[in-house]
Chain A
Amino acid sequence: MPPFVSPAWSVASSSSSIVEIDQVSFGYDPARPVLHGINLKIERGSVVGIMGQSGCGKTTLLRIIAGWLRASAGSARVLGENLGDLDEARIFALRRKMGMLFQFGALFTDMSAIENVAFQMREHTDLPEELIQDLALLKLESVGLRGAARLMPSALSGGMARRVALARAIALDPQLMLYDEPFTGLDPIALGVIARLIRRLNDAMGQTSIVVSHDVAECFDIVDYVYFVSAGQIVAHGTPQELRRSGHPFVHQFVAGEPDGPIPFHYPARNYRGDLALNGAHG
């Protein structure tokens, strides 16, 4: 399957970019920015991974794309709209074309699986009830859980809950899908299922997907392009093949899973001998 990709820095084809992030910075506290000078472009139809350590800012980046957080500098264009220009109502309207899968599914616990999937249809459309039921069953079928339609979220395993949440997120056929750590805490079989679903749904429904994760194996399997974030900046980007061969120290450490490298093993601390008081202070 041809990777549909172009390097982020290239000038051309801005019309086929679903997401354009240009020199974006953000910080909850203005004195300590979480992200600075982020540039990235995501082309229509591609699955792009945003990877990095825990706490590096990748989830924050995802939230900026989703319109939750407003960048303090730079511009973020999503689906042709500049997010900085939009007010609450227009951001809400834009979100109708987006879908997001949360880390642990975030299913509504007081509704059954099928009612969760039907939620958006009930809220945003005037379709008759039987049609909504059929459509919801269709979505559940595409994630393989039509048989679990009547179950409550508490009766579902972690992997199943996440699949139902996926069915819910794609209920109104969004153009852009955002995945926040979809692989966390899943067994190998469920991992494989989710990964394949992300790719298959993206291609079958003509979506564009952004996957935030730190699971190298699964991610590299399904994405067309990867951006690496470390300490609030993009440190590397490329196709999975390029990155596997990369000599960049951070990329190498991350991909190979080495304990020490540009990201040190030891948290900064004082002199060891001093800490143990071996310099004769207490004798």
Chain B
Amino acid sequence: MAHMAEGGSRPVQILERLGQAITAKILRLGFAARFLFYLVLHSGVAFRRFGLTIREIYFAGVLSLIIILVSGLFVGMVLGLQGYETLQRYGSSEALGILVALSLVRELGPVVAGLLFASRAGSAITAEIGLMKATEQIAAMEMMAVDPIARVVAPRFWAGVISMPLLAALFSAMGIFGGYLVAVQLIGVDEGAFWSQMQAAVDVREDILNGVIKSIVFGVAVSWIAVFEGYDAPPTAEGVSGATTRTVVTSSLAILALDFVLTALMFAGGNA
């Protein structure tokens, strides 16, 4: 390390630091993967004493309901307004139902609900676990021969995985209702045409099921990131706050990247 003080030239130093940063990130990713594996293996307690998981579903899912429902409603209403604006130029305003429903069910429901879940519930989970670690509660649990990953981390992880698809479905449902309010009640699009065209175009297997699969994948990703960052946080105030920020940022990026991959797999391409 002594030679770094005088250098290599600046570019070399930058490269070295970059290399170290990348290596550190890869090591961390590996650690996170092992963590997830261990977590899933020791999830027996979370299911046998399901009360633990139910409690976490309350804190992660139920307490996110308000923001999900309100956001869904507004997103749906905006879709209705914007969609109408464009469609009626081509005389296709009756396709508004299709526009709103497909946008929500395929994309906006899983993705926006995922982003909201990550910032509300994900950051809360990270902060909680990080704080428990900082105040030695995790250590105390280990000292009492109780595996903290099984008892504290696993229930929160599974609660997130269970809550996400439900929240995404509610987001989409609320959004479609919002779109209906704007289209039929506000603008005056024909109600029958709105629903029947929607039903003809939205396929349960292709669109709705794929949307549900997306939200489950996002749920796993967000929950994994949230519990890992919390567990790995340095046991200080700055450590915990940095970890919660990282949870929100990493979760959001992961959701958007996974969304691209899943959309490409599910909706694009071929005769299928």
Evaluate contact between B135 and A106: CB separation under 8 angstroms: yes
Cβ-defined contact, B145 with A124, below 8 A: yes
A-B CB pair tally, cutoff 8 Å: 49
Which residue in A66, A104, A124 is a CB contact (below 8 Å) of B136? A104
Q: Which of A66, A107, A108, A124 contacts B143 (CB 8 A)?
A: A66
A93 contacts B135, C-beta separation under 8 Å: no
Q: How large is the interface on A (under 10, 10 to 19, 20 to 34, 35 or more residues)?
A: 20 to 34
Q: How far in angstroms is the closest Cβ of chain B from A29?
A: 13
- Contact across chains for A102 and B140 when beta carbons are under 8 A apart: yes
List chain B residues, Cβ under 8 A from A98. 143
**Is A119's CB under 8 angstroms from B137's CB?**
no
B139, A106: Cβ atoms under 8 Å? Answer: yes
B contact patch SS: helix
In the complex, what's the smallest C-beta–C-beta distance from B29 to chain A, in angstroms? 23
Within 8 Å of chain B (Cβ to Cβ): is A100? yes
A97 and chain B: residue at smallest CB distance: B145
* Range for the number of chain B residues in contact with chain A: 10 to 19
Q: Of the candidates A103, A107, A119, which one forms a contact with B144 in the assembled complex, judged by CB atoms under 8 Å apart?
A: A119
The complex places the Cα of A142 from the Cα of B137 at a distance, in Å, of: 23
Complex contact A123–B137 (CB within 8 A): no
Residues from chain B with a CB closer than 8 A to the CB of A28 are: none
- Bitwise, B208-233 to A at CB < 8 A (1) or not (0) is 00000000000000000000000000
Chain A residues, Cβ within 8 Å of B143 = 66, 95, 98-100, 102
A109 at the interface (CB under 8 A from B): yes
Q: Which residues of B contact A123 (CB under 8 A)?
A: 144, 146, 151
Q: Are B137 and A93 in contact (CB under 8 A)?
A: no
Asked whether any CB of chain B lies closer than 8 Å to the CB of A248, the reply is no
A115-154 with Cβ < 8 A to chain B: 119-120, 123-124
Q: In the bound complex, do residue A106 and residue B144 qualify as a contact, i.e. CB atoms below 8 Å apart?
A: no
Distance A165 CA – B147 CA, assembled complex (angstroms)? 19
Query: How far is the CB of B132 from the nearest CB of chain A, in Å?
Result: 8
B109 to chain A, nearest CB (A): 32
Quick check: B136 and A102 within 8 Å, CB to CB?
yes
With CB as the reference atom, state the residue of chain B lying closest to A178: B143
Interface residues of B in 123-154 (CB under 8 A from A): 132, 135-137, 139-147, 151
Q: How distant is A16 from chain B, measured CB to nearest CB, in Å? A: 25
| Apart from the given pairs A104-B135, A120-B146, 20 other A-B contacts in the complex at a CB distance below 8 Å | A66-B143, A68-B139, A92-B147, A93-B145, A95-B142, A99-B144, A100-B143, A102-B139, A102-B140, A106-B136, A106-B137, A108-B132, A108-B137, A108-B141, A119-B144, A120-B144, A123-B146, A123-B151, A124-B145, A168-B144
Instruction: List 5 A-B residue pairs with CB atoms under 8 Å apart, sorted by A's residue number.
Output: A98-B143, A102-B140, A108-B140, A120-B144, A169-B144
